[in-house]
Amino acid sequence: MMSSTRVRRLGRRCLALVAAGLVGFGSASPAQAEGPALRPDMIRTLQSMQSQLEAGDDATVASRAAASASRLQGGNAADRWARALFLQLAATANASRHEDATAADQFAEAQRIDGVPAARRLAWLQQEARLRLRAGQTREGADLLTAWIERSGGDDASRWLLVQARASLDDWTAASQSLDRLRESGSEGWSSSQRQLASTVYQQSGRFDDALALLGSDQDSPDVWRRAAGLAQQAGDNGRAAAIWESGWRRGVLVSKDDLRQLAKLHIAGGTPARAAEHLAHWMDDGRLEASADNLKLLAQAWTAARSHDEALAAWRALAERTGRGQDWQQLAEVAYGWGEWQTTLDALSSLRQAGGEVSGRDWLLQGIAAAQLDRRDMAREAFRQAKAAGVTQAQQWLDSLG
């Protein structure tokens, strides 16, 4: 999948090339029969300029046609029609000279002339839209191209151009709507680059299921799944990120040790910590993950987030026994205290002291509260005295309550 930054960069670089290949400017002569009858001399002038245009004399035609159009302002219906045709010639010549903004302005001016046939006005709208894109006027060009597609029904080439334009503007919702119309006729014939663009557009608009459905052979690439989950995270949807990563794991793509740990972390962040804990326990049992301190800690965090008291306390105890670190015994004491597991709190703090860990004033306070709850008043008093000596203000209140 392409990142949004890459899509924007490609969009800005390629829109002009795509538009250039699709403009297809028509000659003036076939259009003469569409409007009011023209004077013979006017027809000869138009045909002369058309011949010059075909001979490659773009600069002369651009100048002559614009001057002729200017002289015909305010005339009758035939003059107005001739003026529109001169503007078309001038625009076509300017487009050949890569004067795209000027050409687009001339097509726009031609469309505003009264009496121009609807079919010709619609054709010039399409040409103006693509010239705006080629000139770097992306938003205006995209809006005009949208209008042309809505009025004409459009075609696949124009819709792809519109998708790319909207993507380059970060207008992901509009881009995804255009993609929906393209998918109505099936996506079997899409090229790899089109699938990548479409998948990125759907991801950026939050439609991850649609994005993954378009991956095709790319579904076997781990980076594709990682980027998809990463985009879901960026959108603040950790639950969706976990679901995407889980799908990649079940597909047999995200199976490294780091991938397994990341799946567990996403489940914890995404609100399914019990699923994370179950995965971790199973993977450590069958050897896919070793029972390292880091993995045991992640397991303990998962059970704690899932509020599975027995499993969480057992996991924290296993971690502390494995590492012998005072901080792990302290964490077990904190978790046990938070759930009112008073004996476990006392046991953890006792193990903390036996391990030579530093006992803080808060640790003494927790021991005093746990002992008081178990009606072990002498132990509680001693612990509160130690907490008071360490500067814990609440300790005196507890001592007073004990009498």
Cα Rg, the chain, nearest whole Å: 36
Count the neighbouring beta carbons within 10 Å of the beta carbon of residue 330: 22
Q: What is the Cα–Cα distance from 13 to 239, expressed in whole angstroms?
A: 35
* Beta carbons of 93 and 73 less than 8 angstroms apart: no
pLDDT tens across 57-96, in order?
999 999 999 999 999 987 789 999 999 999 999 999 999 9
Helix axes 100-111, 77-96, angle to 10 degrees: 160
Nearest partner of 285 among 297, 294, 295, 274, judged by Cα: 295
Q: What is the dihedral sign for C-alpha 36, 38, 44, 48?
A: negative
Q: Give the whole-number percent of the chain exceeding pLDDT 70.
A: 91
Q: Which of 132, 150, 183 is the last residue of a domain?
A: 183
Instruction: Please count the structural domains in the chain.
Output: 2
Distance of CA 146 to the CA centre of its chain: 22
297-309 average pLDDT score? 97
pLDDT at 283 over 70: yes
- Examine residue 209 and state whether it is found in any structural domain, yes or no: no
- CATH no. for residue 49? 1.25.40
Q: Which of 183, 201, 220 is the last residue of a domain?
A: 183
pLDDT tens across 321-348, in order?
999 999 999 999 999 999 999 999 999 9
* Beta carbons of 200 and 167 less than 8 angstroms apart: yes
pLDDT tens across 382-403, in order?
999 999 999 999 999 999 898 7
What's the whole-model pTM score? 0.61
Q: In the numeric block, which tokens belong to residue 122?
A: 């619609």
Between the alpha carbon of residue 94 and those of residues 61, 66, 104, 126, 145, the distances in Å are 9, 10, 9, 16, 20
pLDDT tens across 18-50, in order?
333 334 444 444 455 677 888 899 999 999 999
Between the alpha carbon of residue 147 and those of residues 152, 153, 170, 172, 356, the distances in Å are 9, 10, 19, 18, 76
pLDDT at 15 over 50: no
HSE value, Cβ hemisphere, 13 Å, CA-based, for 145 = 31
Q: Which of 183, 206, 238 is the last residue of a domain?
A: 183
Distance of CA 103 to the CA centre of its chain: 35
* Beta carbons of 85 and 28 less than 8 angstroms apart: yes
- Examine residue 301 and state whether it is found in any structural domain, yes or no: no
- Examine residue 308 and state whether it is found in any structural domain, yes or no: no
pLDDT tens across 136-193, in order?
999 999 999 999 999 999 899 999 999 999 999 999 999 999 999 999 888 778 888 8
226 three-state secondary structure: helix
Domain region containing 179? 1-183
